[in-house]
Amino acid sequence: MNLELSHKTILISGGASGIGEAITRACLNEGANVVIASRITPAVEIFMAEMAKNKATCSLFSTELADPENCQAAVEFAIQTHGQLFGLVNNAGLNDSIGLEHGTPQLFTQSLYTNTIHYYALAHYALPYLKQSKGTIVNIASKVAITGQGGTSGYAAAKGAQLGLTREWAVELLPYGIRVNAILPAEVMTPLYHQWLQQFEEPGAVLQRIENRIPLGKRMTLASEIAAAAVFLLSPVQSAHTTGQQLVIDGGYTHLDRAIS
């Protein structure tokens, strides 16, 4: 299936680890140019070294996305590097466990800012170039936005906001032919998810309990499966008439009655 992403530039926040890394790899496999906006970590350095070794059309803009000016600079870097921008994947975020009982209004506000502002800022500064290319935006949200999780009010509110923005932008950008969609992962094994498991005395047992509650296949969703959906939504041909959608990829974890499993 030709997704017609070859030579198109995709800006991906947090695109060098976890789900973002999988999306980057999928875009590169389709011949796209990828610009990653991310802070530097050892994992990011390892990934970018691999990209350099393979001579991939993948570049890194090292930044802290919580500052809107850095978001503007990331977009400008993509334009300076490739001369055009077709797609934006808003992916970077952190489930920081700022809850109602054990959080504070100040921490809640910071969580909202950290997980939401760069989605808006990157889209805002990318918009003039997306108008030129009739491009697309894919927001990576979370099932937490529609199910809740407990103990993570800031993250849940931010993810809910991302879904609201997806629908809002899909309406606002209709006149420009810009499509906007969201993907909602649930249980995906990423470095952050692995780190979360390690807080338990028996991580393997916790993982087994989670997998047993996933109706389809009793397994975690693969990051590559999220990435496959992302490149489909980015495609100007295969998803040309898809906008304002919220795609849940989770083996039925969110919407199917777990009593059937």
Instruction: Please list the active-site residues.
Output: 155
The dihedral through the CA atoms of 11, 13, 15, 16 has a sign that is positive
CA 125 to chain centre: 18
